Amino acid sequence: MSSGSGGRDAGTLLVLVPAGLLGVALAWVLTSQDSATVEATVRMLADCLGATVLGLAALPRLHERLDPPWRPLAALAGIWCVTEAAVLVFDAAEVVGVPVRRLSAHQFGTFLTDISGGQIGIAILVGTAVVAGYAALAFRRPDSASTDLVLVFAAVALALRPITGHMSQQPFGSVLAAVHALAAAAWFGLLVALALVVRARGEWAAVLPRYSAVALPLAGTVAVSGLVNGLVRIEGLTPLVTTGYGRILLAKAVVLAGLLALGWWWRRTWVRRAADHRMTAESSLRRAVIEVSVMAFVFGLAATLAVTA
């Protein structure tokens, strides 16, 4: 099964951007923290790109007929590296206590060398750069390349920031945060990857049931770990409606519940019909784009949650 490049790549990805922005916008309404909107937008883009890179790299493990799409992998990893650099600038400005436009080179350098958040950011940049560089080389020599290195570096880059966030101060908080981030990235990223590379009805019939089988435990892991993390963070139920953080968390939980219901319905309809070759490739692609758009909306909420005190 060929999965090298596709003319639909940009179109499939671009529809996720407004969906993620809608999530950021809703979170802004719920918190009225307009100062964090730009930072949340950049983080949403970084998270979506990182998840997509992870999903593209995991395709051969999902089905043996799927080849690594090295060209889009390299391009998206490069953009991911750029967005992570932007996230690092926003993090530095927050720590220093100045607007981004007033952050000096000296202040940024001090943040990178003396503050743990800056050092973690450098590690993330290194990880994303390695992924981009390796994927670019692999595109030239695909026969001798493996996605194992990409999977490891992408997973570490995705998990580094969550495991050192506010949940790290709680017992097992870092583990829960890492599990939540990686499960969400895999759930979202694998479906985006399928939308990017799967072409024919027969290909959907072969790979969609495999994705559905792994999506269920991933979705359950996201829901349970997110619920535990959120309740520990807000220390009760009342803050769900009295604080901006709690309202975003509640909105995220509601949309996630909707995604779980949608996934259950897809398993009974889309997956069965696609597996029996009774659905066109265009119909499968349309359903995939619908689901990942809702997921991108949740990523927008989650990104704002991450930058909300």
**CA 294 and chain centroid, separation:** 12
Q: How deeply is 88 buried, as exposed, middle or buried, from its count of CB atoms within 10 A (0-12, 13-18, 19+)?
A: buried
Distance in angstroms (rounded) separating the CA atoms of residues 308 and 204: 39
Query: So what's the pLDDT on residue 4?
Result: 42
pLDDT band at 235 (very low <50, low <70, confident <90, very high): confident
Q: What is the pLDDT of residue 212?
A: 95
Rounded mean pLDDT, 228-232: 80
d(CA 285, CA 267): 15
What mean pLDDT do residues 115-140 have? 94
Instruction: Show the domains of the chain with their CATH numbers.
Output: 9-306 (1.20.1630)
The mean predicted confidence, pLDDT, of the chain is: 88
Region 8-19: what's the mean pLDDT? 72
- Predicted TM-score (pTM) of the model is 0.92
* Rounded-to-integer distance, Cα 46 and Cα 52, Å: 10
**C-alpha span between 308 and 250 (Å, rounded):** 14
Provide mean pLDDT across the span 192-197.
Answer: 94
Please tell me whether residue 295 adopts helix, strand or coil conformation. helix
Residues 200-229 have a mean pLDDT of 92
Sign of the dihedral through C-alpha 301, 302, 307, 309: positive
